[in-house]
Structure 1
Amino acid sequence: MFVVSKWSFALVPPVTLGFFRVALGAAALWVGLRLVGDPATPGREDWPALVGLGGWVTVTIVAQFLGTELTNASQGSLLTVLTPIFVVLLSGALLGERVTKTKALGIALAAVGTAVVVAGQYHLRRIAVGNAAGVALLVVASFAWAGYTVWGVAVVRKFSALTAATYSTIAATPMLGVLAVAELWYLGRGIATIPLSGPSLLSVAFLGFGSTAAAWYLWYKGLEYVPAGTVAVFYFLQPVVGTALAAALLDEQVGAWFVAGSLTIGAGVWVVSRERADEPARNRHGDGSELRE
């Protein structure tokens, strides 16, 4: 997602690209929800929570895309470690999830592994040099995604992952639409100036179907089974997957640091996952009935 979006900014402005991405993702999720169906449909009393999740989505997309445009890949990769940390802190404060010694150890291992992977792929000097505003925006994006994760728990467990992802994405679409119009006005560009070329359409399709519809649904699906803090630790795998794909598809070189860091991240994820595997499922619907065992 970071690679495709960074490349796409030359064709489509960041916020406008975010609008296209979320609008397409919302449409795909809506079709999926209609095909699958959900016995519990959100009522009027549920819309404040759904609109709130849409707000978290909007802040995430705007801050993430603007921050990505202003920074380099190494900074973006390194700052991903903040998201699971924010999730653990918020879930502890708002959901009462305990940060056990085992979970803290797993998160620490994964964070160290991420730093090792990034340091092994990029020069440390490149990580330190960059746009301060871009770094700040990526920090905001990390916190906003943590907010989307933690505040989404109640909605996911009352309805379903698909319902929560669908309606929150739909709620975010008009918010991003207004910001996209403002961005184009500020840049002095019209919608007609955005090229409808094959590459631009493919990038929007990837971001909409893959990075939004599929990824956000699967992220919320994890919340049906395990606590938010456990789901969050898998976020550490992003730089590993990104680097591995770059090596496989772009012939980028990986060395011993990447292997060592990846193994450390894997150990951290395994530690957190094992802790949850040894506990009985406690997730529930909003009515108190068991959700999954």
Structure 2
Amino acid sequence: MSPSVGRYAFALAPLAAAALWGGMYVVSKWGFELIPPVTLGFLRVAVGAGALWLVVAGRGGPAPSREEWRPFIALGGWVTLTVATQFVGTELTNASQGSLLTVLTPVFTVLLGAAVLGERVTATKAGGMAAAGVGTAVVIAGQYELGSIAAGNALGVALLLAGSATWAGYTVWGVPAVRRHGALRAATYSSLASVPMLGALAAAELWYLGLSPAEIPATAESVAAVLYLGVASTAAAWYLWYKGLEYVPAGTVAVFFFAQPAVGAALGAALLGEALGSGYLLGGALMTVGIWAVSRERAGAPDETPDAAAE
């Protein structure tokens, strides 16, 4: 594979991540019936971090030094905030609110990328983001009753907004780690760093609810939910998301997030027999145009990263 073809292929990795996240909210809601939200988030990240570590350990190479752990711990803090706010917010809101508020992540990422990394917000990028955002709104409006979007828990909405902002932080502040260590190691060690943080929050949640770990049901459904969230939505998706950052700016990677609700709706139609909304095709077309326009902007991507060739 030529370097240019490989670069474009890896730049599309975040789209695959969005596809894996498409079913995450359905699985999360299902899992909440069996496992409290923060505890489910902890199990998700613990499984995902373990899966990533097995890959890194199998490939060999030195462990991070004490100095190198510092940015990974900071990224682990972003992970902890994202998972905790996202899962509790998802439990407190409905599917329409979750889908709509989550797609604010690209907006936060573009703004942070410009403020922190000095990435340019060109007219093409702004126009593409706007088209993709409108397309996403059309898809969501076609899938849900507009009244259901306005209904729900105000605290849950605030937490989902916070989750969107903190994932943008994980994306933008992860760029230096990705460019230095490669996507696989950056995703692995930031996930590992978050495990004890989320573990402490999960222990506090169980104490507050008066539950012991032994009371968490180990049913086929709960195990399946944790495995999907851990292996697919965490290990694979976080690696693919960071893989895109090896080749394109954070604001460019962010636009692929708009595809998540469309993928979720398509999966619901294919696997659950749910009807697609009347605006799905129109919204999907607008989203595709916007993503295509932004993905063509490759300014600011490095020619080569330390682990890119190896991964």
Give the shorter-chain TM-score range. Answer: over 0.9
CA distance in 2, matches of 1:142, 1:207: 18
Structure 1 moving runs of 4+ over 4 Å = 289-292
C-alpha contact (below 8 Å) 2:119/2:300 kept by paired residues: no
* CA–CA separation in structure 1 for the residues paired with 2:205 and 2:101: 25
Report the Cα offset of residue 192 of structure 1: 1.1
Report the TM-score when normalising by structure 2: 0.89
> How large is the RMSD of aligned CA atoms in angstroms?
1.5
* Equivalent residues of 1:64, 1:137 under 8 A apart: yes
CA–CA separation in structure 2 for the residues paired with 1:283 and 1:195: 49
Cα distance in 2 between the residues matched to 1:192 and 1:46: 36
Q: Deviations over 1:136-168 (max 9, x none)?
A: 000000000000000000000101101000100
Matched, 1:246 2:268: yes
Shift in Å, 1:216 = 0.3
Measured against aligned partners, the alpha-carbon deviations of 1:15-48 in whole angstroms (never above 9, x if no partner) come to: 001111111111100001112234x642211222
- The residue that corresponds to 1:60 in the other structure is 82
Determine the structure 1 residue equivalent to 2:159.
137
- The equivalent residue for 2:114 is 92
CA contact (8 A) 1:2 1:68 kept: yes
Native 8 Å contact 2:246 2:302 kept in 1: no
Task: Report the Cα distance in structure 1 between the residues aligned to 2:159 and 2:136, rounded to whole angstroms.
Answer: 20
> Structure 1 residues 281 and 53, CA, compared in 2 at 3 Å: closer, same or farther?
closer
Hey, what does 1:5 align to over in structure 2?
28
Matches within 5 A, 1:23-62: 23-38=46-61, 41-62=63-84
In 2, the alpha carbon distance for the partners of 1:18 and 1:151 equals 22
Question: What SS class does the counterpart of residue 256 from structure 1 fall into?
Answer: coil
Instruction: Give the C-alpha shift of residue 284 in structure 1.
Output: 5.5
Counterpart in the other structure of 1:220: 242
The one of 8, 11, 16 equivalent to 2:39 is: 16
Instruction: Choose which of 136, 156, 163 in structure 2 pairs with 1:114.
Output: 136
Deviates more, 1:254-263 or 1:63-72: 254-263
After superposition, the C-alpha distances for 1:71-112 in whole angstroms (9 at most, x for unaligned) are: 000011111221010100001011110000000000000110
**What is the one-letter code of the residue matched to 2:208?**
Y
Q: Give the Cα–Cα distance (whole angstroms) in 2 for the partners of residues 184 and 212 of structure 1.
A: 23
Structure 2 unmatched ranges of 5 or more: 1-23
How much has 1:290 moved relative to structure 2? Answer: 11
Gaps of 5+ in 1: none
Q: TM-score, normalised by structure 1?
A: 0.94
